[in-house]
Amino acid sequence: MKFGGTSVGSPPAIRQVLEIITKTRPDWPQMVVVSSAIYGLTDALLESARQAAAGNLEPFQKTLAAIKERHADLLAALVSNPDERQQVWAELLTLINGYANLVQAIAVLGEATPRALDAVVGLGERLIVRVIAAGLQARRIPARAIDATGLIVSDSHFQAAVPLMPETFIKAQALLETVFQAGEVAVVTGFIAANQQGIPTTLGRGGSDYSAAILAVALNAVEVWIWTDVDGVMSADPRLEPEARTISELSYREVAELAYFGAKVLHPRTIQPVVEAGITLRVLNTFHPHHKGTLISERMLDPENGAVIKAVTAIRGVQLITVAGRGMLGVPGVAARILGAVASTGATVPLITEASSEQSLCFAIPSEASTAVLAALNESLAGEIERGNIDCISASEDVVIVTAVCPQMRHKLGVAGKIFSALGDSAINVLAIAHGSSDVSISLVVSQADLQTTIKALHALAS
Ligand code: ADP
Ligand code: ASP
Ligand code: MG
């Protein structure tokens, strides 16, 4: 079971978490609990380190005070025995002092490397697992707080590390087996791992879902339950579309598409390990624990009640890069070089379209990567530009990728037609389209100003 930041972010919420664990344990005695840091803390930790590198220690001072206050409140709500509370508090203070030392070192160096940021940013998870374990112990449920740095072995790609599964299997199985044998609940940090040298890494923002999936596969788990603050995976982001409804059942592929194209409810990499192991995933609401949430498995169902699509999602803050020129026609390897240049900057490319004449290639990148990508393209294609084979490399304004998810789109007549009619009826101008590589989704690019209307128009096809 994995709990997100809001689920552990306040005394009433974390009491609810303990209640869920307590009620689940009799049926599932071998249980691993994975937790994210309390809501908002990861952002604050990152900001405090970045600002410290720039010589500003004020955010650090504020974060330090907030960390102490919020965790002391949680601990006070869960552990009434003063001696027990004092013991845990001393442990938390040691970790908090470690953070303070790191940030001060960053301030002295004037630089926050990805490696240093990963060492700083895992503090929230390290603190909360100790609070949860103490809360369980106070209820006389044996529990052990565990830092995933001793369980999940990753590569050294700081801030977006990839787990090394064979090494992780060995470590996770060995340690968690002893926890199970002792009859304890394992309470493990989400988000963090360590490379083969033991240096802390993180699995990318929102990565606690991924941590749960990795551990589930390592332990050959029966199910993974993601406890969050909404009633499951919904037909749209409920903050964007008030009419959004919970989808009771989804296939791995549909959820993977939704997560990849911006539905924050699951980290995009969560699905891959569980698919391979055939582990069922559930998304449930901590604050509404009797709601059935969303069941995610191999099974792909048609949309309910004859709807055209199942869900719609969006990625904001992207730009479209267009590389065009008559000389691109049929020149071997141009696309490879273009994408190679983009890859050299580390930018991800969520969407690509190519005109059939091969005279232009258009793709999306995160807006913040735009300057670096344009520079890399101009450098890599300098020869073609000079010879006049490429005459335009340009970036659009900020745009949005909107993705509609619908099973077996390719085999269903009229789905794309209905989508484009709906957009036409709402006077939305579609800037680019990508469809075909995935049988379960179609992605469209629209201007930022059209986001809300596009979501509304497409969501009407989901109900
Ligand atoms: P947690 O801290 O529990 O991991 P997140 O904030 O990462 O929670 O993810 C849950 C949030 O994802 C929800 O509160 C909701 O606002 C947002 N969200 C975006 N798209 C969807 C969707 N399609 N279904 C459900 N929630 C979504
Ligand atoms: N606390 C981490 C983050 O905010 C991981 C997570 O929430 O899943 O990114
Ligand atoms: Mg999350």
The tens digit of pLDDT for each residue in 145-181 reads 999 999 999 999 999 999 999 999 999 999 999 999 9
Q: Which fold has domain 302-463?
A: VC0802-like (3.30.2130)
Q: Which atom from ligand 2 is nearest to the alpha carbon of 124?
A: 1
Domain edges within the chain: 2-221, 302-463
Whether the per-residue pLDDT at 30 is higher than 80: the answer is yes
Distances (CA, A) of 333 to 357, 367, 434, 447: 15, 26, 21, 31
Please provide the size of the chain in residues. 463
Q: Report how far ligand 3's centroid is from the alpha carbon of 186 (Å).
A: 20
Ligand nearest to the CA of 206: 2
| Ligand 1 atom at minimal distance to the Cα of residue 235 | 23
**φ, ψ at 351 (rounded to 5°):** -155, 140
Are 2-221 and 302-463 equal in CATH topology? no
Q: Which ligand is nearest to the CA of 37?
A: 2
In the reported structure, the alpha carbon of residue 230 is separated from the centroid of ligand 1 by a whole-number distance in angstroms of 7
User: Which ligand 1 atom is at minimum distance from the Cα of 5?
Assistant: 2
Q: Is 210 helix (H, G, I), strand (E, B) or coil?
A: helix
Q: What secondary structure does DSSP assign to 213-238, as a single string? A: HHHHHHTT-SEEEEEESSSSSBSS-T
Average pLDDT along the chain:
94
Query: Is domain 2-221 in CATH 3.40.50.1370, yes or no?
Result: no
DSSP codes of every residue in 303-341: PGGG-S-SEEEEEEEEEEEEEE-GGGTT-TTHHHHHHHH
Report the b/e string of 194-218 with b at 16+ CB within 10 A: bbeeeebbbbbebbbbbbbbbbbbb
Helices (H) and strands (E) in the chain, counts: 15, 17
Ligand 2 neighbourhood includes 37 CB (under 6 angstroms): yes
- In the prediction, which pLDDT does 108 show? 97
Protein residues with C-beta less than 5 angstroms from the ion ligand 3: 4, 206
The residue assigned the tokens 């101009």 is 378
| pLDDT value at 391 more than 60 | yes
Q: Is 5 in the pocket of ligand 1 (CB under 6 A)?
A: yes
Q: pLDDT tens digits, residue range 182-204?
A: 999 999 999 999 999 999 999 99
Confidence of residue 329 (pLDDT cuts 50, 70, 90): confident
Q: 406 C-alpha vs ligand 2 centroid, how far in Å? A: 29
pTM for the whole thing?
0.94
Count Cα atoms within 13 angstroms, Cβ side, for 183: 5
- The vertex-14 CA angle with 12 and 19, nearest 5°, equals 95
Distance 267 CA to ligand 3 centre (A): 6
Q: Is 366 in the pocket of ligand 1 (CB under 6 A)?
A: no
Give the pLDDT band (50/70/90) at residue 438: confident
Nearest CA to ligand 2 atom 6: 206
Residue nearest ligand 2's atom 5 by CA: 206
Cα 5 to middle of ligand 2, angstroms: 7
Whole-angstrom Cα distance, residue 281 to residue 212?
10
Q: What is the pLDDT of residue 437?
A: 62
